[in-house]
A = this chain, B = another copy of it.
Amino acid sequence: MDFAPSARAADLTERVRAFIRAEIEPAEAAYHREIAARRAGAGDPWEPLPLIAELRAKARAQGLWNLFLPAGHEGPYAERYGTDGGAGLSNTDYAPIAEQTGRSFLAPHVFNCNAPDTGNMEVLLKYGSAEQRERWLEPLLDARSRSAFCMTEPDVASSDATNMALRADVEGDEVVVNGRKWWSTGVGHSDCDVLIVMALSDPEADRHHRHSMVIVPRDTPGVRVERMLPTMGVYDEPHGHGEVSFTDVRVPLSHVVAGPGRAFEIAQGRLGPGRVHHCMRLIGLAEKALELACERGLSRVGFGKPLVDLGGNRERVADARIAIDATRLLVLHAAWKLDQGGPLHALSEVSQIKVAAPNMAQQVIDFAMQLHGGAGLSDDVPLAASWVTARALRLADGPDEVHRGMVARLELAKYGARR
Contact = CB atoms under 8 A, between A and B. Distances in A.
Contacts of A230: 233, 377-379, 384
Interface centre among A158, A317, A326 (most CB of B within 10 A): A326
B411 A321 contact: yes
Interface string A371-396: 00111111100001101100110111
A10 to B, nearest CB: 11
A302 B159 contact: yes
B412 A298 contact: yes
A158 B374 CA distance: 9
Interface stretch (A66-74, A170-178, A211-219, A305-313): A305-313
Contacts of A379: 230, 233
A319 B404 CA distance: 7
Contacts of A384: 230-233
Contacts of A203: none
A385 B326 contact: no
B231 A377 contact: yes
Contact of A407 (B312, B318, B406): B318
Interface in A1-20: 1-4
Contacts of A288: none
A387 B233 CA distance: 11
Given A330-B325, A370-B395, A408-B318, A414 B294 contact: yes
Contacts of A387: 232
Interface in A148-198: 152, 154, 157-160, 163, 182-183
Interface in A325-371: 325-327, 329-330, 332-333, 348-349, 351-352, 355-356, 369-370
A355 B77 CA distance: 47
A295 interface: yes
* Interchain residue pairs A-B with the least CB separation, the first 10: A312-B312, A157-B302, A329-B329, A318-B407, A318-B404, A2-B2, A314-B408, A160-B302, A233-B234, A233-B233
25 contacts: A1-B332, A2-B2, A2-B4, A157-B301, A163-B302, A182-B374, A229-B378, A230-B377, A231-B378, A232-B387, A294-B412, A298-B415, A308-B412, A311-B314, A311-B315, A311-B405, A312-B312, A312-B401, A314-B412, A321-B407, A321-B411, A326-B326, A326-B352, A329-B329, A370-B401
Contact of A329 (B41, B182, B330, B403): B330
Interface of A: 1-4, 41, 152, 154, 157-160, 163, 182-183, 229-234, 290, 294-295, 297-298, 300-303, 307-308, 310-319, 321-322, 325-327, 329-330, 332-333, 348-349, 351-352, 355-356, 369-370, 373-379, 384-385, 387-388, 391-392, 394-396, 399-401, 403-409, 411-412, 414-417
Given A322-B352, A377-B392, 9 more contacts: A159-B302, A159-B373, A232-B233, A233-B234, A312-B315, A313-B401, A314-B405, A329-B330, A377-B391
A374 to B, nearest CB: 5
